[in-house]
Amino acid sequence: MSMQTVSLNKAYGGTQGVYRHASHQTRTDMTFSVYVPPHTAGTKLPVVWYLSGLTCTHANVTEKGEFRSACAELGLIFVAPDTSPRGEGVPGDPANAYDFGLGAGFYVDATQEPFARNYRMWSYVTEELPKLVAESFPVDTNRQSILGHSMGGHGALTVALRHPGRYRAASAFAPIVAPSQVPWGIKALGGYLGSDRQTWRKHDAVALIEDGARLPDLLVDYGDADQFLTEQLRPELLQGACEKAKIPLTLRRQPGYDHSYYFISTFMGDHLRWHAARLKG
């Protein structure tokens, strides 16, 4: 697979790059960013995957996430994909809403028309992009972890729960933990996967845990001033599922913080240090 370099910038002694490639999964061009920290030539480095939330592209966390200092210190590669296919002919929400279609792929492979042709974000982030990144950057594929925000927190948790041998750690900022039970998720899963709610369970972290999926531990932060907390995020559902399954969950309620990148950037360093301890242990 070939890719085009969109931009390269030096940061904290490493390199922040933005890249574009033709995706076989989405049948569109896809853009993603990769930060490679300073390192000795020939060294393979652990990689942290970051999945973004509704309306975002690769650029939101790349420009606002404040991860590079910690990644340089800890020796972590940081990869940020887009959240959906884009381009001419890619269908969006019929009413141009922000929570479905463009910028809202929900990290599933759609089965419903007209979305099935392009909206294959599950296969993109779990198969195609990891292969491209492993071929193109100094990644140690035996040391991978994943985190995300909101819709991307949903994606990170479900990807980790369904690939327990691949990711050594998983964490999330303000994740949608039970999309089958909240308006954002019901709209997205119904629109992409159809009306059979049984097929939704493999894309619902709480349902996956109820059905037997396990992780060694989890770190989740949310702000108690998050405007989406009670209707869309519902962290108490994840807490209950983890307690019942005996999954160690560190669930941190951050007073006064909202859903924005001010919140994410404040606690990004904590998450990356938590990941680094598991990636290097």
Residue 277 has pLDDT above 80, yes or no: yes
| 149 noted as active-site residue | no
**Which one from 58, 82, 226, 271 is the annotated catalytic residue?**
226
pLDDT in tens, 39-95: 999 999 999 999 999 999 999 999 999 999 999 999 999 999 999 999 999 999 999
39 is catalytic: no
pLDDT at 111: 98
Cα distance between residue 227 and residue 219, in whole Å: 21
Q: Give the chain's mean pLDDT.
A: 97
Q: Is residue 150 flagged as an active site residue?
A: yes
Residue 2's pLDDT is what? 84
Delineate the domains of the chain, giving CATH numbers in brackets.
3-279 (3.40.50.1820)
Give me the catalytic one of 149, 259, 271, 275. 259
- Summarised one tens digit per residue, pLDDT across range 86-112 is 999 999 999 999 999 999 999 999 999
DSSP one-letter string for 127-184: IIHHHHHHHHS-EEEEEEEEEEETHHHHHHHHHHHH-TTTEEEEEEES----GGGSHH
Identify the band that residue 1 occupies on the pLDDT scale cut at 50, 70 and 90: low
CA angle 220, 274, 109 (to 5 degrees): 55
What's the confidence (pLDDT) of residue 194? 98
**pLDDT higher than 90, residue 232:** yes
Strand partners, 250: 219
Which member of 23, 52, 150, 171 is catalytic?
A: 150
pLDDT band at 9 (very low <50, low <70, confident <90, very high): very high
Please indicate whether residue 243 or residue 280 has the higher confidence score (pLDDT).
Answer: 243
Longest dimension (CA), the chain: 52
- pLDDT > 70? residue 183: yes
The pLDDT score that the predictor gives to residue 19 is 98
Mean pLDDT of 241-260: 98
What value does the mean pLDDT take over residues 274-280?
96
